[in-house]
Structure 1
Amino acid sequence: MASWFSWNEPYYRSPQRDPADVVTDTLMVEFSWQLKEAERQQRERENEYQRLKTGVDYSWLASTPRSSYSISTGERLGLEDLCSKVPPSCCGLVILKFREVMQANEPEVHEVSSLFRSVLLEALDHLKEEQEAQRLARQWNNKRAMSMSLMNFRSRIKINPFGSTVGLTSAAAEGAGLSDLKTVSEDVERGMEREDRAQRVWSMPDFRYKGADSSKVV
């Protein structure tokens, strides 16, 4: 039993592959399969043409040859570079689009690489447009949020300008404002006291002193 479970052996995990490499391999496998399929269909069309031309079918005598068409190294590297730029989320969509194009056009074997390239370029252009649209949408939302904040700030100033100013002042400014209010209240109180004294003076009776000369009033 102990030999079945290698407790003492270290556990080795295979290194995780780069998603771009996985996408590239997946798309290039699809391209190779479509290339072979196009070559097979082209061979069938040629056999059908020969049968119609001669009236004799020799296809049962011919063995199925191996794939003989291959693209150049530079062309393959160019396709791999385009495949590496496709995000994993779009890999399946690119494969479906490529199959639709192949089915609709039934190209010759030498035309498959150009069709595959056009599908990749179209997908990358569409992805770039979506990213640009998202960037503009985020930029617009940020500007809109800033403008709304500014409008709310202005509306608060219009509704209660003194209250908004008090909220923006510092502690020192608040102390100065309180001292100003205190000074004003003291002035008002002093003014009321003077008015009260004046009223008391005017309400006192008019005492007149009659001396030798009754016409003189002190």
Structure 2
Amino acid sequence: MSISSWFKWNEPYHRFTQKNPTDMVVETLMMELSWQIKQAEKMQREREDEYRRIKTGVDYSWLVSHPQHSYDVTPGERLEFEEACSKIHPSYCGPVVLRFRQLIDEYEPEVQEVVQLFRFVLQDTIGRMKEDQETRKLIRQWSNKRTVSQSMMTFKSRVRIYPFSSNIKTVSEDVEQSFVSARRVWSMPEFKTIKDF
């Protein structure tokens, strides 16, 4: 048996494969939710211990053993959150985390309220994303119209018609010239290009 088979050097290394950005957003936001739930549980236990300490006047916190994780998101809520997180564009992931942390710091919520705050931040972000997309769409339409109108303005500024110029051919001149020579018949005024540049 060779040493390379022990270390699996012959197998391709798949550890650093690229993940789908949507999956990364979902994982990041769900990890943030579970972390904030754990932190809220810890803060809630500390508040309860402090309350008992003040009420009894004795510190028994070293005797009390708390469960590691008492609150868990229901499977229905988890699916709802994962679906909402999958709608969030990767560029909004960082602002979602920051906004969620700001609300946690501001309100110092109970464990159950953390889930409600997370839901609020997700819904707010999805609404803001839709507004941003509409704004970008309107800006794109406006810039396209502006580009077309600017190209028309440049076209208008390059081509000028002089209707009262003495060298414009008229229908009567066309008729007269057709008899005199076999030149082309002029049916419209002559366009001249003035080069201002």
TM-score bucket of the superposed structures, by smaller chain: 0.7 to 0.9
Question: Hey, what's the Cα distance between the residues in 1 that align with 2:36 and 2:158?
Answer: 67
Q: Is 1:143 paired with 2:168?
A: no
The residue identity in structure 1 corresponding to 2:40 is A
Cα contact 2:40–2:111 (8 A) shared by 1: yes
Instruction: Point out where structure 2 has 5 or more consecutive residues left out of the alignment.
Output: 164-176, 184-197
In structure 2, do the counterparts of structure 1 residues 9 and 49 end up closer, same or farther at CA, with 3 Å as the change threshold?
closer
Cα 1:69/1:146, change in 2 over 3 Å? same
Q: Which moved more, 1:90-99 or 1:12-21?
A: 12-21
Task: Report SS of the residue matched to 1:151.
Answer: helix
Aligned partner (choices 71, 84, 93) of residue 86 of structure 2:
84
For normalisation by structure 1, the TM-score amounts to 0.66
After TM superposition, give the deviation of residue 139 of structure 1 in Å: 0.3
Structure 1 portions without partners, runs of 5+: 162-178, 186-218
- Of structures 1 and 2, the larger Rg is shown by 1
Corresponding residue of 1:205? none
Q: CA deviation at 1:104?
A: 0.6
Aligned twin of 1:94: 96
Distance 1:160-1:145 versus aligned 2 partners, 3 A rule:
farther
Quick one: which of 112, 116, 119 aligns to 1:117?
119
Name the TM-score, length of structure 2 as normaliser. Answer: 0.73
Question: Size of the alignment, in residue pairs?
Answer: 166
Alignment equivalent of 2:181, drawn from 180, 183, 197: 183
- CA drift at 1:159: 4.3
Cα distance, 1:10 vs. partner? 5.9
In structure 1, C-alpha distance between the alignment counterparts of 2:73 and 2:10, rounded to whole Å: 46
Deviations 1:10-59 (A, max 9, x none): 63545532211111111101100100110111111111112222222211
Q: Percent identity?
A: 50
Richer in helix (by share): 1
CA deviations over 1:127-147 (Å, ceiling 9, x no partner) = 221221111111001111112
